[in-house]
Amino acid sequence: MMEPGLYHILFISAALFFIGVYGFLTRRNLITMLMSIELILNSVNLNFIAFNKYLWPGKMDGLFFVVFIIAIAAAEAAVAIAIIINLYRSHHSIDVVNDEDLKY
């Protein structure tokens, strides 16, 4: 076991990103797919913070990117949940297999 550094945090963030991708590929329920997207966004945030801390400690650009990503993620989650609830009202299902009105 070594002292944790940049590579350790990059490992965690890459692992979390691909866990999110795995969830996005295997899940068929819209809410669980949204959860996978949240995991992916969080891994990106972790990357920005790690690069800001270990490579450019004199600047704060990574930190501001993270703040703006969190704000956009909150807006995205709110809009997505509004769409999901509206879809449930009209189709009584939020499974992507059942909602194929826009297909073909």
Partner 1 sequence: MMNGSTIIFYLLALQTLTCGLLSVSTRQIFRAAIYLLFSLIGIAGIYFWLQYQFIAAVQIVVYVGGIVVLIIFSIFLTQQAGEKLPKQRLGRKIFSALAVFCAFALTMLQVYQHDFNSPAEAAQPVTVLNIGKNMMSVGDGGYALPFEIISMLLLAAMIGCIVIALRSKPEKT
The residues that touch partner 1, with contacts defined as CB under 8 A, are 1, 3-4, 6-12, 14-16, 18-23, 25-29, 31-32, 34-36, 38-39, 42, 45-46, 49-50, 53-61, 63-64, 66-68, 70-79, 81-86, 88-89, 94-95
The 3-state DSSP class for residue 29 equals strand
**Are 23 and 44 a contacting pair, CB within 8 Å?**
no
Closest distance of CB 83 from partner 1, Å: 6
**Cα–Cα dist 42/70, whole Å:** 9
User: Is the Cβ of residue 3 or residue 103 nearer to partner 1 in the bound state?
Assistant: 3
By CB neighbour count within 10 A (0-12 exposed, 13-18 middle, 19+ buried), where does 74 fall?
exposed
User: Is the Cβ of residue 57 or residue 103 nearer to partner 1 in the bound state?
Assistant: 57
Closest distance of CB 70 from partner 1, Å: 5
Closest distance of CB 48 from partner 1, Å: 9
